[in-house]
């Protein structure tokens, strides 16, 4: 009850202190509007994204009837990406350079010579051919079965038996497992890297779709000739097979206006989460303001005389700021949606994850502020913290391309230099759960959430220790 009471009253206090609105809502909204206008202007002109292509793929052999074919789908994918043009223009989507090794890829992305490097793994062709066979099976099995049944019902047993024979040969394509994987080597805080990431995903599906279409048609013709049967593939049966296989929604980029809109959306996939987290970070100034007021007005001294424990009081503060962070985020999100910067794509689980991340970021901010307030009671601390947080938030929010060397791997995700700034995992998590929920599944967000939780736990623990020792400590002796 005590913690709840602290949370409620702190929340009321903050919402009634109008001068804090500048930091909590004002600055971030101004940032968003200015940057949004700038971005709309900047992306009115399309230009190729310079990327690298690292082809580790090895040729794959496959047999249709008596003929054996050999192909490298990695090369085909490279050519496919190279030929892509923005619709209605002669501008290429990608300007691709060949990359010979992983080291070169990391070097070039590190120096931002390329936005990202697309790496086709050694089993790319093997998986693609399995995918093509599987899609072909899923597309044709229903069609041929129906034709066989129809022939049987009409009493044309000989035709039916030829369909059944074709079906038997087709069954060699069933139960094939595959996972088509492309690795994007890039700095995710660099906006063009995220564009490359999303585009590559879409074009990979387009590529497999195109290849599957070609392969299925070729195989259907082969079966038709061999067994003297008719196979009519309609687009409906084909696309339903694709959905069953990939279950990834994608939108085609169509028309210049559409392209611009899509680019802006992608850009904000990077920027909006950064701005939301930035607004939560800037709230640290408000936390400090409130704490400073309590410290200088004697409220803390009075609180010391009550029954409340340090744990209860600090928990009340950090949780109330967690809730305030949630409200900030809702306002920022609403603004971003109204301004047309984002499209709502996530599931309920994605939103729950986003909410958790934002509340966690709020708690982290409050803990950080409590540490600062405990170490220095001087008002100048507010200004210093504001300057530090603005700089740090600009670094991690994705406004500018900044080198971000990888330090190692943590929870299955790369741990970079930027990850040493605790709020960054909130940004990368939000990108996945809020903005790119059509690409990432909720499970992909967990490593970011876990890292954020660890940072929050560390900072909260420190805030408990220093605030208890420096501020809420009662006189040692009477």
Residue 2 or 403: which CB sits closer to another protein? 2
Q: Which stretch binds another protein (CB under 8 A): 7-15, 49-57, 58-66, 83-91?
A: 7-15
CB of 108 to another protein, least distance (A): 54
Residue 349 binding another protein, by CB under 8 A: no
Residue 338 binding another protein, by CB under 8 A: no
Q: Tokens 């600009």 sit at which residue? A: 394
CB of 320 to another protein, least distance (A): 12
Sequence-separated (6 or more) residues with CB below 8 Å from residue 118: 51, 52, 53, 54, 81, 182, 183, 184, 196, 200
Q: Check the CA dihedral 409-412-418-420 and report its sign.
A: negative
Q: Can you tell me the distance from the alpha carbon of 44 to that of 260, in angstroms, rounded to the nearest whole number?
A: 6
Q: Which stretch binds another protein (CB under 8 A): 182-190, 217-225, 306-314, 456-464?
A: 306-314
CB of 384 to another protein, least distance (A): 25
Residue 1 binding another protein, by CB under 8 A: yes
Residue choice 172, 301, 387, 412 for contact with another protein (CB under 8 A): 301
Query: Binding to another protein (CB under 8 A): which residues in 375-414?
Result: none
Cα separation values, 92 from 82, 202, 368, Å: 7, 16, 46
Mutual angle of helices 73-83 and 124-153, in 10-degree steps: 90
Q: Kindly state the number of chain residues that form the binding site for another protein, as judged by CB under 8 A.
A: 28
Sequence-separated (6 or more) residues with CB below 8 Å from residue 107: none
Q: Can you tell me the distance from the alpha carbon of 444 to that of 467, in angstroms, rounded to the nearest whole number?
A: 35
Q: Can you tell me the distance from the alpha carbon of 134 to that of 176, in angstroms, rounded to the nearest whole number?
A: 6
CB of 302 to another protein, least distance (A): 5
Query: Binding to another protein (CB under 8 A): which residues in 240-299?
Result: 293, 297-299
Give the single-character DSSP code of 474. Answer: P
Tell me the three state secondary structure of residue 414.
strand
Residue 17 binding another protein, by CB under 8 A: yes
Give the H or E element holding residue 415: strand 413-416
Residue choice 234, 247, 257, 305 for contact with another protein (CB under 8 A): 305
Q: Which stretch binds another protein (CB under 8 A): 12-20, 182-190, 271-279, 452-460?
A: 12-20
Residue 11 or 201: which CB sits closer to another protein? 11
CB of 14 to another protein, least distance (A): 8
Q: Check the CA dihedral 42-43-48-53 and report its sign.
A: positive
Residue 325 or 472: which CB sits closer to another protein? 472
Residue 233 or 323: which CB sits closer to another protein? 323
Residue 10 or 108: which CB sits closer to another protein? 10
Sequence-separated (6 or more) residues with CB below 8 Å from residue 259: 46, 86, 87, 253
| Most distant pair of Cα atoms in the chain: their distance | 107
CB of 315 to another protein, least distance (A): 13
Residue choice 98, 172, 240, 306 for contact with another protein (CB under 8 A): 306
Helix boundaries (H) for 376-441: 380-397, 424-430
CB of 381 to another protein, least distance (A): 21
List of residues contacting another protein (CB under 8 A): 1-2, 5-6, 9, 12-14, 16-17, 293, 297-299, 301-308, 313, 474-478
């Amino acid at each position: 009850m005590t913690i709840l009471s602290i949370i409620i009253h702190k929340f009321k206090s903050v919402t009634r202190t109008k001068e804090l609105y500048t930091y909590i809502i004002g600055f971030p909204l101004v940032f968003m509007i200015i940057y949004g206008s700038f971005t709309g202007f900047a992306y009115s002109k399309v230009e190729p994204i310079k990327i690298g292509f690292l082809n580790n793929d090895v040729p794959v052999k496959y047999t249709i009837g008596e003929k054996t074919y050999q192909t490298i789908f990695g090369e085909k994918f490279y050519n496919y990406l190279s030929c892509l043009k923005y619709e209605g223009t002669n501008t290429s989507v990608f300007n691709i350079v060949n990359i010979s090794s992983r080291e070169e890829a990391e070097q070039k992305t590190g120096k931002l010579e390329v936005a990202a490097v697309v790496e086709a793994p050694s089993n790319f062709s093997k998986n693609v051919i399995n995918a093509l066979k599987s899609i072909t099976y899923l597309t044709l099995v229903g069609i041929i079965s129906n034709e066989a049944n129809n022939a049987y019902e009409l009493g044309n047993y000989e035709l039916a038996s030829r369909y059944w024979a074709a079906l038997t040969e087709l069954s060699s394509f069933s139960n094939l497992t595959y996972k088509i994987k492309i690795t994007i080597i890039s700095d995710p805080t660099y906006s063009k890297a995220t564009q490359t990431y999303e585009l590559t995903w879409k074009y990979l599906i387009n590529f497999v779709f195109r290849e599957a279409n070609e392969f299925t048609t070729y195989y259907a013709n082969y079966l038709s000739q061999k067994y003297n049967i008719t196979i009519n593939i309609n687009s409906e049966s084909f696309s339903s097979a694709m959905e069953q296989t990939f279950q990834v929604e994608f939108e085609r980029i169509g028309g210049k206006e559409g392209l611009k809109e899509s680019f802006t959306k992608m850009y904000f996939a990077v920027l909006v989460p950064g701005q939301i987290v930035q607004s939560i970070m800037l709230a640290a100034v408000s936390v400090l303001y409130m704490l400073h007021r309590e410290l200088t007005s004697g409220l803390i001294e009075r609180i010391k005389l009550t029954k409340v424990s340090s744990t209860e009081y600090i928990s009340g503060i950090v949780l109330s700021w967690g809730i305030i962070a949630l409200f900030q985020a809702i306002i920022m999100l609403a603004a971003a949606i109204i301004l047309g910067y984002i499209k709502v794509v996530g599931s309920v689980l994605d939103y729950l994850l986003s909410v958790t991340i934002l509340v966690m970021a709020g708690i982290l901010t409050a803990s950080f502020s409590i540490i600062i307030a405990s170490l220095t009671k001087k008002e100048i601390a507010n200004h210093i913290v504001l300057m530090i947080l603005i700089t740090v938030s600009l670094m991690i929010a994705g406004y500018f391309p900044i080198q971000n060397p990888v330090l190692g791997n943590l929870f299955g995700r790369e741990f970079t230099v930027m990850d040493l700034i605790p709020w960054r995992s909130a940004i990368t998590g939000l990108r996945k759960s809020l903005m790119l929920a059509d690409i990432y599944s909720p499970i992909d967000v967990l490593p970011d959430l876990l890292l954020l939780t660890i940072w929050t736990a560390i900072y909260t623990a420190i805030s408990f220790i220093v605030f208890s020792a420096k501020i809420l400590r009662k006189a040692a002796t009477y």
